[in-house]
Amino acid sequence: MNRSKFYSSAAAAATAMIAAGSLAACGNSDSTTTPGQLAAATLVDVQSFDPAANPGQGQRIFLDPVYDTLLRTDPNGNVVAGVATKFELTPQALVLDLQQGRVFSDGEPLDAAAVKANLDGRRKSTGPAAAALSDIADVQVESPTRVRINLATPSPALPISLTDVAGVLVAPNALNSPQLGTDPIGSGPYVLDTAATKKGVSYVYTRNEKFTDKSVQTLDRIEIRVLTDDAARASALRSGQVDLSQVAAGQADAVKSSGIEIGSFPGNYWMLQFLDTAGTKAPALGNTKARQAVCSAIDSQQIVKSSFFGHGTAQSQVFPEGNEFHVKSLENVYPFDTQKAQSLVKESGVPDPTFAVPAFGPIKPVAEAVQGNLRDAGIDMSIQLVQPGTLDKENRETNFPAILTPIKQVHPEQLYTDRLAKDGPQNPFHVAHPAVDAAHARAVAATDDAARVAAYADMQRAAADEALWCGLFQQDAIVGWNTSVHGVTNTAGWPMGPSFRGITVD
């Protein structure tokens, strides 16, 4: 793979993950496992099978059986080949060489024209993937197996973005279908069995007969069950009703003691992000000192202990120690100090600061812990419950002035594009941050990695100085599977469960 040094930091930026072992310790005698068939459970329903409308990240557990992506990540988070067998990024363009002879499940060719149709369509959409492709000037078909993506501005995170929904490939004839959200057509190893699927309950996949890589297509049938209750998922896994499941931290020890193999690895990073920093909806959040007071009032270490039973690490910035984008000066930028928070509230001049956040399921106990911390500092954060699966939508709208959210972003360019840029999808109030913008401009204009990393550090410091969010902690993602399941590999950006490619069931 010929990759320029220009984007070497982008490929290496993903947080390293721990590859889980392939054999479980012992099984349950009541197991209903059928050889070649996998039953899995996860917490949140799929939002849409249309990649232009799906937020990706954890949702990829639903999309990956049906769709291929242009690029993928390995267990350590490095960008590797997908449909594109090799790629080369420069400040001017990203060139992709494609596999030959691939077809979609409807028989259409998966060629450069199909890739262009997907990228062009997603760029024009209003969904989450559009922001990841915003640096693209145009897409050129150089041959049936080569695509040139010309850039309007350097885009160091583009290869990583193409491992997620921005790089998902839909059969061209289905791109504009009104049924795409529920009836996906891709080139992946499986197809969605719409007749057997029950929306919001379970999703059934069977073999794609036009998929030829049998080392990846190792199952006859996959069923993903949506079980929003933590105890219900744990019970289903222990009893053998499902073979593999996302496991809540509070259930992990009990599940492991029943003979289920547990894989634990760094998952989502949690932050309290202030969307309304102009104070349009919540006047208190328009005051920098009031926002700093909020950050100073939160005891992240205690939240990890109480809400996640120690399965996580308090961390005041997105990128952990050892990551090239980690900023040492931000390691404890707003230490927990209730008295300091109270003093900052007084200095702000904001009487009785108040704001609201949305929450559901696993967000709720964290929100309640934060709420208690803030109450001690004289800050009122109300919690409004929303339906599971709608949090990402709320994050992109102006219904709430702040959001308590888990994120999985592995490059500062993604932070900027999604959350900091004035027109970013998770900056719904469209607030400009000049100091952040200036540092970002230096980063994309940098001609060497050291200068780029330094500029991104300045960008993160500027965001911290303005308290645009409170960095909280890195949560451990926990997945369990039984003795019949082999080949499980937990990978970067898959906190709700692994890819099912290559998994076998005895």
- pLDDT tens track for 281-300: 999 999 999 999 999 999 99
Contact, 250 vs 271, CB < 8 A? no
Whether the pLDDT of residue 33 is over 90: the answer is: no
Q: Above pLDDT 90, what percent of the chain?
A: 81
DSSP-derived secondary structure letter, 192: E
Whether the pLDDT of residue 503 is over 90: the answer is: yes
DSSP-derived secondary structure letter, 420: I
pTM > 0.75: yes or no: yes
Residue 32: predicted pLDDT: 66
**Separation in Å, CA 390 to CA 52, 131, 247, 395:** 16, 19, 21, 9
Measured CA to CA, the distance from residue 460 to residue 471 in angstroms comes to 11
User: Which domains, and CATH codes, for the chain?
Assistant: 5-22+44-226+487-505 (3.40.190.10), 267-475 (3.10.105.10)
What are the tens digits of pLDDT across the range 334-385?
Answer: 999 999 999 999 999 999 999 999 998 889 999 999 999 999 999 999 999 9
Whether the pLDDT of residue 28 is over 80: the answer is: no
Structure tokens at 275: 């969307």
Counting other chains too, the contacts that 234-240 makes at CB distance below 8 Å and 24 or more residues apart are 236/41, 237/41, 237/480, 237/481, 237/482, 238/28, 239/28, 239/30, 240/27, 240/28, 240/30, 240/31, 240/32, 240/33, 240/482
What are the tens digits of pLDDT across the range 200-221?
Answer: 999 999 999 999 999 999 999 9
Buried residues in 119-151 as b, exposed as e (16+ CB within 10 A): bebbbeeebbbbbbbebbeebebeeebbbbbeb
Residue 128: predicted pLDDT: 84
Residue 127 — pLDDT band, cuts 50, 70, 90? confident
- Considering only residues 22 and 103, tell me which one the structure prediction assigns the higher pLDDT: 103
Whether the pLDDT of residue 76 is over 80: the answer is: no
Whether the pLDDT of residue 27 is over 60: the answer is: no
Residue 187 — pLDDT band, cuts 50, 70, 90? very high
Residue 16: predicted pLDDT: 32
Q: Helix, strand, coil: what percent of the chain each, to 5? A: 30, 20, 45
Mean pLDDT of 479-483: 97
Tell me the residue length of the chain.
Answer: 506
Mean pLDDT of 98-110: 98
Residue 278: predicted pLDDT: 98
Q: Above pLDDT 70, what percent of the chain?
A: 93
CA dihedral 287, 293, 299, 301 (to 10 degrees): 70
Q: Give residue 410's identity as a one-letter amino acid code.
A: V
Residue 492: predicted pLDDT: 66
Q: Three-class SS of residue 285? A: helix
Measured CA to CA, the distance from residue 168 to residue 155 in angstroms comes to 18
